[in-house]
Structure formats: C-alpha cells, structure tokens
Structure 1
Amino acid sequence: MSQELDQMRVRREKMEELKEAGIEPFGRRFKRDHLAQDLHDKFDQYDKEELNEMGAKVIIAGRMTRKRSSGKAGFADFVDRTGKIQVYARKDMVGDEPYHVFKRSDIGDFLGIEGDVIKTDTGELTVRAHKITFLSKALRPLPNKWDGVTDPETIYRQRYLDLISNPESFKRFHQRTAIIKAVRKYMDDNGFTEVETPILNTQAGGANARPFITHHNALDIDMYLRIATELYLKRLIVGGFERVYELGRIFRNEGMDPHHNPEFTTMETYAAYFDFQDVMDETEGIVKAAAKVVSDDGKITYQGHEIDLGGNFKRITMVDAVKEKTGIDFSDESMTDEDAKKLADEHKVEYKPYWTKGHILNAFFEEFVEDTLIQPTFVYEFPVEVSPLAKRNADNPAMTDRFELYVDGSELANAFSELNDPIDQKERFEMQAKEKANGNDEAEPVDLDYVQALEYGMPPTGGLGIGIDRLVMLLTDAKSIRDVILFPTMRPEKEAKNDSKKKKNKKK
C-alpha cells in the first residue's frame, strides 16, 4: 500500500509539471482517423521497405500500457477499444518538450499520436510519432501487466481494472454484445416486434419468485420490480401484436451463486398460433444463431465439456427422463400423492407438506436428472403444479405443454403453450394463492386484470423465456454469471471485509 501511495504522489507531481508547462493534464477532444485494428488490417501485409515507400500518415489515440525508452528515443504500446499498436518516438522528430512529455508519461496515461506507419527491424507494425498530444493523466498505477487482476473481489467491484488488464474479459463482453445482436436479428428476421413493458409493477407476476419491493411516494403504494415480462407481453398478443419479444432486465430477490444474480437479462417471446413444439424450433434457432458468433459449426467447449450446438437437440418428456435415471414411472395413474411422498422419503428427496405428486416428480427431475443433461436437451411435459401459466396437455391434463432447454446441467430456456382459457387461468391463480397462504413466498398472486384481458380472447400462443446471461456464459466458457455481467450485485465492501475478518478469527 505504501508503494502505491508513493507512486500516486509521483504521478501527482508529474501532473503539476504538465500544468507548469502549459499542458492540460485532463485534455479535450482529440480526432483520430485510425484504430489499432484498422492499422493491422491495412498494413500488416506490407514489409518494412514497402511501408517506407508508402509513407502512410495516421492519427491514433489510446492508453499507454507499456513503455521502454533510453536516451533520445523510445517505444510504447498503446491500446484502444480494438487492440494494441506500438509507437516509436524520437526526440529529434517530435521536439524536446513533446519528447520529455512522452518520456515522463506513466503507464495508464492517454496520448494522441500523429505519425507515419513503419515496421521495425523485428517486423512489428509501428506508428513513428511526428506529433504527441497529452490527453489524460492516470493518477493511480494500473495493475501489474503480467499478473493482471486475479482477485475476484477486485474483478467484480472494479470491473474497469479487469477490462484494462485482462484481454479475455474485455473480449467476452464484446462477444456478449455480438451475441445479443445475433439474437435480435434472428427475432426480427422471423417477424417478431421488439417492445418495452413496465419494470415497476403494482403486483409481481409471470413467475414463481420473490420480488423486490419499493414504494411510490406520490401514489403512496408499494410497487414491485418486475420478476418477469410475461403477463404484459401476453396482453399485447390479446391486442393483436401476434409476435412480440422483449429483451431486458429482470429482478428477483433471491440468493447469489454461479448461475444467479438478483438482476439479470432475459428475453421473452410470444407468437400467436404457435404451440410449444413450434417454440422448441424457435429456441433451437435462437441458440444456433447466437452460437455462430463464436463457432462456425456450433461446436464449443464449456468448462471442459465438448458441446455440440450445431446438430438436432434431444427432446424427452420429464417422466421419461426421470424413469431413465431412477426406474420410477410417475405416469402410473395408480400412484397417489402419498405414494409419491413415500418414494421421496426412500430416495431422500426433500419436499414440503403441501406438495403433490406433480411437485415431487419435478423434485426428482431436479435431484437426479438435471445435472446429467450435458448436450442440449429439451425436457417437456411439466406437471401442472409447477406450471401455473402453461396450457394443459390434451392427452394428460395432469401435465402441461411446457419445456425447458438444458445444456451442461443448467436451464437455458423455459417455454410453453400459453394458457389462454381465462377460467382455468383464474382457478390456477387461486390455487397459487392457496400455496402462498401455506408458506410458498414465490407463488403467483391473483392477477384479475390479466384474467380480464384473457376474457377478451387470446389466440393459441407459444411463449419462451431464455436467460441471456446463461447463454453468454455457455458461449464464452464463463464459469460464473458474474463473469458476463459487467457490474454484478455485490455485498457492500465494508460488510464483505467484516465478514472476511470474522471467518479468519473463527479459524484461529
């Protein structure tokens, strides 16, 4: 820490030197005409003699990340949003004062360079400076170039340091943007309209989740950050949109782990006249379009697992998936709720007193099947008890026309043929309300306005929710959701430090 303070003191002294020389340490607009990658794309193909003949003049700007100088000449690496380029400065070419500024600049400072493009004797593409403009002073030293930022707390709390020092992290977030663009293009090309719905709701609905509660002072009412976009989007289907999607932030008052952050990004889509089978095709198309950003053939590696997103995705019912792993057939009509609970006891599967056979089937799936689904797999026909907004299966009313897509043991998407029967919907809302009264904090509330919308008529509709963060994790080989969210939710630093001290004291 004392070394860092010493460096900060020296940097402030250099800042004052700049002021005394009439140079603004925190400069103004600078117009460049090339980025680092532009230079490599244009000039890497030429050799030293060819570039000397061309005499190409360029203007660049960036952050100095490495410098080596001696006497009257020096080299430095500059980084912009596209990559790195080397700069060569000579005192007799730029002048005494500008060269002094260059030589006294610190790693982390921003400079503008006007010069010509050359190659060094070692063949490295370089901008030979004719003019140097100081743009901005870094008053704190950057992390060690070779080690980068490795402490997770620093990575997530000070993402800017992570982006500066870890090229793979910088690349991952650019890939995230490209993946989202690919997903949007797929939706737009297939006739969907992107819309925006409220983030603040008067009641939380559309999912089984605990909401964040806030208060609207003017209306003097509690409001909820949305836990899903579903119910508003389906109101638009009632209104005649036919194909809509929304890509945006969702907020759930839940714990944090490698796959969960309290605020995260999803895309929900709804298409009139689709059923869940159509939505499976849609989902497969979305994932394949996104995968092309990182892999031409759809084959990727995620956490050591080879995964093929280019072929046909497997499709299996939940009942069959559980039967494959445990030998238990939950489709047996003679099996009662009590029988299911006995099976849960025998297999050490935890359940709540109000749970029925459908709940326990879902619990068996989560316990024995979910983690084993490495290759992309659609699991469909979910119990009605855990699918309050999905249409019942025509052949088996105890099940719904719902699926989830799993890759590497993690849920990537959730979809179903939407329930468009207002009478059934109201009954299921009421069933959920009873669960809430029995202690299920995540159960759906009764949304009478939504029921009213359904009473005006909603066509058969297929709906999808896909986790964008998890999709990006998969395609960029990121282990934690925090690695794909620029600024993940963190405990206040002071509390985190106190917890760390308590843990150390306990060990002693």
Structure 2
Amino acid sequence: MEEREVRLSKLEQLKQLGIDPFGVVIRDVVPISKVRQASDGDNFSVMARVTSIRQHGKLTFADLKDFTGRLQISFRKDVLGDKYDFFKKFIDVGDVIYVRGSVYHTGRGELTLDVEDFRLQSKCLRPLPEKWHGVKDPEVRYRQRYLDLIIDDDSRERFRKRADIIKAIRELLWSKGFVEVETPILQPIPSGASAKPFVTHHNALDIDLYLRIAPELYLKRLVVGGVHKVFELGKNFRNEGIDQNHNPEFTMLELYQTPGDYEDMMRITEDIFSAAAQVSGAAECVSFKGMTVNLSRPFKRLTFKEAFKHIANLDWSDLDTLEKATAVMKANGIEMTKTPTWENIIQKLFDELVQPHLVDPTFVLDYPVEISPLAKRKPDDPRFVYRFELFVAGMEMANAFSELQDPFDQKARFEEQMKLKEQGEEEVILMDEDFVVALEYGLPPTGGLGVGIDRLVMLLTEAENIKDVIWFPTLRPKSTEAVVEITELDQ
C-alpha cells in the first residue's frame, strides 16, 4: 500500500474512534523561538509540524518546526501510557500537533521538550519530501511554496529576514516622521515610469484601467497637498520579461520629502541599507553571485559621465551624438531591441559596459535629461539632471531625483515622451495632465526615492534568484495534472 493510502486509512480509523483528525483550537501556545530561550524545568505548550520521528522502543524523539525555528521533543511510554501507543500508530511526519511539557537538555546538550500531553491538530495526508533531498525541482519550490517552507530551513529563514527587513524600513521611516499612505493600484493613466503596463477593464465605468507601474505621480500630488514626508511600500506591476532579477509583480518602497533633494535621498538610502543589513544579520561584506560586496558607508559616488570614463574608458565626447553613440555600440557588438534613439543607445551602453562592473554600492549621479523626464535640471548644465541610481553587485537597487517642480518644463518633457510613443516606442512616461495641474499649485523643493525591496532582500540573504525571495513568484501556468505530486519526490 502506498504511503498516501496508509495515511488515508489512518484518517478513517481516527474518525471511527471519534477523534477529529483536524483538531480544535488550542490557544495557549508559544512560538518555538520562545521555547529555545528557556531554562530546564520551564513549561510550555507548542503547536507545530512534525518533521522527523526517531523511535527507540519506549522512548521516541521527534522534531517540530514552525516559522520561528526547530525544536526536539521526546515522548516516553512511562509518562504518556496509552497515548504513547496512539502516537506510534497514528502520528506521521508532516502532521501538525499540539504538545505540552517541560524543557530539559539531553546528555548531548540538545534542548528538548519532554511531552506530558499532546493532541493531533491536522492530519497530513501526503508524505513530505525526504528531508535530506527536499524539494530539488525549483519549479516545485516556487509553485508549492508551502512545501519549500516546511522542508527548507534556509528558505524559511530568508522569508523571516524579508519580513524583518520590511518592518525595519517602516520603523526607520516612521521614526523620521514619514507618513505611510496607499495610492491607487488601478490607474487610468499608467505613468511615473518607463514601462509597459498590464491593462484591465472596469465594466461599470466602461473604461480601461492599468495596474500601476509606479506610485510616483500620486505621491507627489500628496506633497503638493502638504504631506511633506510621505512613503508607500507596496506592489508595482510591469509587463516585462522574467529573469533572475525581474518579476512582473514586485515590491517597491517610494518616498518623498520636502524640503529635500537627491543629497537627502542618498543619506536616507544609506540609512535604509544599514537598518536592513542590521536586522538581517548581514556582515559588512556579503557574498553575492560570486562577488564580495562591501556594504560599509559612505557609498561610492560617480557621475554618469565619470562612470563611462573610469569603467568603460569612454569620454563623454565619444558619446554625445547619435552617430558617435551608434559607432560605440557597433564597435562593442551590442544590438538594440528598442528604437535606436540616442537616449535608448546611451542607456543600453550603460547597461552593458558600466553597470555589470559596479559591485560595491555606488551612486551614479547626474543623468542626461533625455532619460530622466521627472528630475530637475542642473542649473550649471541643463543637459543633465539631479538624479542618481544606486547599483550593487551589478544590479540597480534604487532610483532618486531632486524632483522637477516647473510645470511648463514637465509638460514639455511629457510631450517629448508622447512623440517617442507615436514613433513606436512602447516604454515611455505618459502625459498626465492632472499632475501638471498639481505642479501649477506649487511643489516645494522635494527629494524622491524608490528602492527595490525584493532585490535588497536578495542581496542581504545572498539569494541568486528573485523568485527565492518572493513568496509566490509569477510562473507560467500549468494544468492540475502537471503539478508534481509529493509522492513522486525523493523519499
């Protein structure tokens, strides 16, 4: 008889005995992490999943796991009597049980809870993957995250750290006087970033709406309205490809501060990284995708032009026209997939020749105005703007501006973007007339910042794929029959 059939048989036997195989609520329980801080003789009640059982006649050891850790427990025939036999007959690896008992240390020094009473809380009807092999197929890990969390301690720890990082960022911003808000996820105009949106239709209003690609324009409206320090930490959606660093649904932090500029945003960015690193337990140097990354502050700074000069050995005079930039692109064997405008080529050259070499945290400052439609111009050279991007281990981690306040300049830049759209460019920042009207009421000097939370968690937990830090990443659909059965996994 296959193991699942054995478990189904046990389920029926339990019902015949009048025992509820899915338990009743018992509330006097604590997380395993609290038990692990205890002293011998302390009494606790725990509810957790059985992940291993080791029987030795009239003494049985088992391991329990919850989201906070692992705990060894012991069952003794002389303490439990007939309940000991019930445990041996009916409890399987994977079952969720309630246990009550006192803490002691074994001869080998292992902290253990000596069980004085227990109850079945939920019968597991499918066998778990064998613990030494676990869920080896990444597709199964991502599609059946619950299995991944049950079996893989490292995965569970990554997600615990993710929660701690998000909490620490929120607490940092609250301590600085920022107000947390919620802006629309369904938007009539998908603007605020250069990206292709997801579209849906609202039947009652008979209009198309778009999943937001960025909350930026709404948050700056709030600054105009007098909310001088504001942030949102939530989901954005971009209809783009999927790879190790990209997922169509991702978590972003965006914040705005007045008075403020991109210098203030650099300081806040360093504060955010420090707070996140501290709660995640990351060392000053972390290993990521074969690179050693030094997270000590202050972070390095290079202007956009200096980055090309120092890393790609290209003077700005080699790049400042469409003809020159095209020649450099061809000389390096780089192919364009977007419209070959100067701004697209410059961005592509940066992505290919500069970005992969930015390993330690580096602020790249002062971008060309053509690729920064929402940032304030530098008065000493209006061809460039007050903007930075932060790069770590070759990944873009943050983007920030001294925000554009001039409504006429902003409208003109929107119009330039719309011309690109008419020429066939898909990823442009769309005109938002109401946002221009809001600027006419007066946006004070403002600094704005966006930080990719998923990539920050990747870095601090040394996860090489963004799917490993997103609870439920976007995947190609599979039929029900195609989902891997647990019984097919290594036993």
TM bucket (normalised to shorter chain) is over 0.9
Change (3 A) 1:42 1:191: same
CA displacement, residues 131-178 of structure 1 (integer Å, 9 cap, x when unaligned) = 221211000001111111121011100000000000000000000011
Residue 407 of structure 1 is matched in structure 2 by 392
Match in the other structure for 2:436: 451
Where do 1:28-107 residues align within 5 Å? 28-43=24-39, 51=40, 55-97=41-83, 99-107=85-93
Q: Distance in 2 between matches of 1:297 and 1:147?
A: 29
TM-aligned CA deviation for residue 496 of structure 1: 11
State how far apart, in whole Å, the 1-side matches of 2:321 and 2:287 are: 43
Is residue 2:365 matched to residue 1:380?
yes
Q: How does 1:464-483 map to 2 (within 5 A)?
A: 464-483=449-468
Query: Does structure 1 retain, via aligned residues, the 8 Å contact 2:38–2:103?
Result: no
Displacement of 1:325 in angstroms is: 3.0
Alpha-carbon distance change, 343 to 74 in structure 1, aligned in 2, over 3 angstroms: closer
Q: Counterparts of 1:213 and 1:325 in 2: how far apart (Å)? A: 40
Q: Deviations along 1:62-120, whole A, 9 cap, x unmatched?
A: 11111122443322112223222222222332231453234431100112122232333
Cα–Cα, structure 1 residues 120 and 279, in superposed 2: closer, same or farther, change >3 Å? closer
Measure the CA separation in 2 of the matches of 1:328 and 1:358.
16
SS of the equivalent of 2:475 reads coil
Please, which runs of 5 or more residues in structure 2 have no aligned partner?
484-491
Q: Are 1:113 and 1:129, in contact at CA under 8 Å, matched by a contact in 2?
A: yes
Spell out, residue by residue over 1:342-383, the C-alpha distance to the aligned partner (whole angstroms, 9 max, x if none).
333333333579655444333221121100000000001111
The DSSP-based 3-state class of the residue aligned with 1:188 is helix
- Residue 159 (str. 1) matches residue 145 (str. 2): yes
In the alignment, is the contact (CA less than 8 A) between 2:258 and 2:447 conserved in 1? yes
Match of 2:98 in 1: 112
- Of 167, 172, 194, the residue aligned with 1:186 is 172
Residue identity matched to 2:449:
L
Aligned partner of 1:241 in structure 2 is 227
| Higher RCO, Cα 8 Å, sep 6+ | 2
Summarize the Cα distance change of 1:318–1:449 in structure 2 as closer, same or farther, 3 Å threshold.
same
- 1:451 maps to amino acid: V
Match of 1:18 among 2, 5, 14: 14
Q: What is the SS of the residue equivalent to 1:460? A: coil
* Counterpart residue number, 1:48: none
Query: Once the two structures are aligned, what percentage of the paired residues are identical?
Result: 49
Bigger drift between 211-220 and 444-453 goes to 444-453
Find the residue that maps to 2:37 and give its secondary structure: helix
Which position in structure 1 is the counterpart of 2:446? 461
- Look up the SS of the partner of 2:36 in the other structure: helix
Consecutive unaligned residues of structure 1, counting only runs of 5 or more, are 44-50, 499-508
CA deviation map 1:290-344 (0-9, x unaligned):
11123476332222322121231110111111122333222579x5333333333
Evaluate the alpha carbon distance shift between residue 482 and residue 238 of structure 1 in structure 2; reply closer, same or farther with a 3 A threshold: same
AA aligned to 2:354 is: V
Secondary structure in structure 1 of the residue aligned to 2:121 = strand
CA contact (8 A) 1:101 1:134 kept: no
- 1:64-463 superposed matches below 5 A: 64-97=50-83, 99-295=85-281, 298-331=284-317, 335-351=320-336, 355-463=340-448
| Aligned mates of 2:32, 2:480 — CA distance in 1 | 42
RMSD: 2.1
> Could you tell me which of 4, 8, 22 is aligned with 1:8?
4
| Cα shift at 1:435 | 0.4
Amino acid at match of 2:4: M
Contact 2:318 2:324 in 1 (8 A): no
Equivalent pairs counted in the alignment come to 483
CA positional deviation for 1:497? 6.2
1:233-263 CA-partner distances (Å, limit 9, x unpaired)? 0001110111111000000011100000010
The 8 Å contact of residues 322 and 364 in structure 1, kept in 2 or not, is answered as no
Following TM superposition, by how much is the alpha carbon of 1:32 offset from its aligned partner in structure 2, in angstroms?
3.3
Change (3 A) 1:254 1:356: closer
Task: After superposing the two structures, state which structure 1 stretch, 467-476 or 80-89, moved more.
Answer: 80-89
Aligned to 1:47: none
User: Structure 2: how far apart are the matches of 1:351 and 1:18?
Assistant: 65
Q: Distance in 1 between matches of 2:248 and 2:162?
A: 19
Q: CA, structure 1 residues 21+274, in 2 after alignment: closer, same or farther (shift >3 Å)? A: same
Partner-residue secondary structure (3-state), 1:261: coil
- Over 3 Å counting, the alpha-carbon distance change for 1:68 and 1:459 in structure 2 is same
Superimposed CA distance per residue, residues 173-212 of structure 1 (whole angstroms, 9 cap, x where no aligned partner): 0000111111112211222111110000011000000000
Distance 1:105 1:175, change over 3 A: same
Return 18-27 or 357-366, whichever deviates more: 357-366
Indicate conservation of the 8 Å contact 2:67/2:156, yes or no: no
Cα distance in 1 between the residues matched to 2:61 and 2:337:
68
Q: Which residue of the partner structure matches residue 504 of structure 1?
A: none
Q: TM-score, with normalisation over the residues of structure 2?
A: 0.93
CA distance in 2, matches of 1:308, 1:447: 41
Distance 1:56 1:338, change over 3 A: closer
Q: Which moved more, 1:158-167 or 1:179-188?
A: 179-188
Separation in 2 of the partners of 1:149 and 1:431? Answer: 51
Whether the 8 Å contact between 2:219 and 2:256 is mirrored in structure 1 is: yes
